[in-house]
């Protein structure tokens, strides 16, 4: 599996045009939001939380160092909206980043519902979707949620396999859920994410994912030197 170095961070207003592109590419006929304004309203909704996966040309070494440790933005996530009106330097940095994927969720009492996990077509099968899923599970824990739910197309067996890997199970079917072609959706849900069995499994999978990313980064360095 090919992998690249990327970083995850909370979404900002400057990211909306690129996120909209990914939305349109990943969900043709089922776009989450149809305009810049509706996306802006959504990301500033206190119940909604979005993250983006991004790369930046010439920034690989720094991103690799950031990705090798726990990313501290999770601890700052809920103060991020107050930090958005930053100086020109921060804004300039983000405009140089290329968004390759995003994830969004809604928090409702003790439940988190994943709205979407999407990756650009050219960056799929690189572990980015799994990285985004790991981060949404971590956010759910930060939000003191007990359960995570989501809908996925019946035909999307690849996504279902990833979710099942992280202890999501099919709860029910929602007939003709998707308006573009009338396809059914399956509702998937975790058990209690605060339970010891879930956390043990999650931490093991998270560490395995990290090791795969690090192994690929080491391999690339070795190939460059050779």
Return the SS3 of 9.
strand
CB neighbour class for 2 (10 Å; exposed up to 12, middle 13-18, buried from 19): exposed
Return the SS3 of 7.
strand
Report the C-alpha gap between 194 and 32 in whole angstroms. Answer: 29
Quick one: tokens of 116? 């979407």
Report the C-alpha gap between 162 and 39 in whole angstroms. Answer: 27
CA-based nearest residue to 27, from 136, 127, 159, 143: 159
| Local structure of residue 173 (DSSP, 8 states) | E
Report the C-alpha gap between 225 and 135 in whole angstroms. Answer: 32
39, 50, 123, 163: which one is catalytic?
163
Would residue 163 show up in a list of annotated catalytic residues for this protein?
yes
Report the C-alpha gap between 166 and 186 in whole angstroms. Answer: 16
25, 111, 151, 183: which one is catalytic?
151
Would residue 151 show up in a list of annotated catalytic residues for this protein?
yes
Report the C-alpha gap between 84 and 11 in whole angstroms. Answer: 9
Q: Which residues are catalytic?
A: 151, 163
């Amino acid at each position: 599996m090919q992998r690249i170095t990327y970083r995850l961070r909370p979404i900002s207003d400057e990211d909306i045009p690129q996120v909209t592109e990914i939305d349109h590419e990943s969900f043709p006929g089922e776009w989450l939001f149809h305009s810049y304004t509706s996306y802006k309203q959504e990301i500033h909704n206190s119940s909604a939380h979005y993250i983006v996966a991004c790369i930046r040309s010439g920034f690989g070494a720094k991103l690799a160092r950031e990705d090798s440790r726990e990313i501290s933005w999770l601890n700052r996530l809920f103060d991020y909206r107050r930090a958005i009106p930053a100086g020109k330097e921060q804004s300039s940095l983000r405009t140089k980043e290329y968004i390759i994927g995003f994830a969004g969720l809604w928090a409702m009492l003790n439940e988190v519902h994943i709205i979407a996990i999407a990756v650009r077509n050219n960056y799929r099968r690189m572990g980015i979707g799994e990285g985004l899923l790991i981060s949404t599970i971590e956010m759910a824990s930060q939000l003191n949620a007990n359960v995570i739910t989501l809908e996925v197309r019946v035909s999307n067996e690849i996504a279902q396999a990833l979710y099942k890997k992280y202890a999501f199970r099919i709860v029910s079917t929602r007939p003709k859920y998707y308006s573009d072609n009338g396809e059914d959706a399956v509702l998937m849900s975790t058990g209690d994410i605060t339970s010891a069995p879930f956390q043990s499994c999650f931490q093991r999978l998270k560490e395995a994912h990290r090791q795969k990313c690090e192994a690929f980064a080491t391999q690339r360095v070795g190939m460059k030197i050779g």
